[in-house]
Amino acid sequence: MMKIRVINGPNLNLLGTREPQIYGNTTLGSIESMLGHEAREYGVEIEFFQSNHEGDLIDCIHEAARECCDGLILNPGAYTHYSYAIRDAVAAAGIPTVEVHLSNIHSREDFRKESVIAPVCLGQISGLGAVSYSAALYALVRKLRGAGQSERPMG
């Protein structure tokens, strides 16, 4: 069975209460529950990890490679903009990765507009709130299964 790991970085444990005008009212637990349901519909196994510590995130990425995870969904939080260590871990792991953000990082402060991690990912999805994770899961599963642009959606 295909295995996907969802990794969330700093402050994402505060979802639902942290700046709801930017990040919404949905909790991380609710997002995990939603993705768990969607993963079952796609017939894939899904795992979740969250840490506020850069080294723990890097260790989790390395572990995903050792455990032969098929794909990663990564919300690096603020590390998006400056963590070359996380970027290097994603590149070294060689696991297809989709970077995710709840808010549209391109419409926010200047420092948030650049991701040092996106260049080593399959793609980046941002600005859709919790749906960003659903979109990432859908896209990643399709990509891993070799679905082309012209094929019908999974169902």
Query: Residues 85, 109: contact at Cβ < 8 Å?
Result: no
Q: Which residue in the list 37, 53, 84, 101 is annotated as catalytic? A: 101
d(CA 118, CA 65): 18
Question: 3-state class of 98 per DSSP?
Answer: strand
Record the tokens describing residue 114, joined without a space: 């650049």
Q: Is 42 a catalytic residue?
A: no
Rg (CA), the chain: 15
d(CA 121, CA 75): 12
Record the tokens describing residue 73, joined without a space: 């969904």
Give the dihedral of Cα atoms 16, 87, 33, 2; nearest 10 deg.
170
C-beta neighbour count of 107 within 10 angstroms: 10
Q: Is 23 a catalytic residue?
A: yes
Amino acid at 134: S
User: What is the set of active-site residues?
Assistant: 23, 101
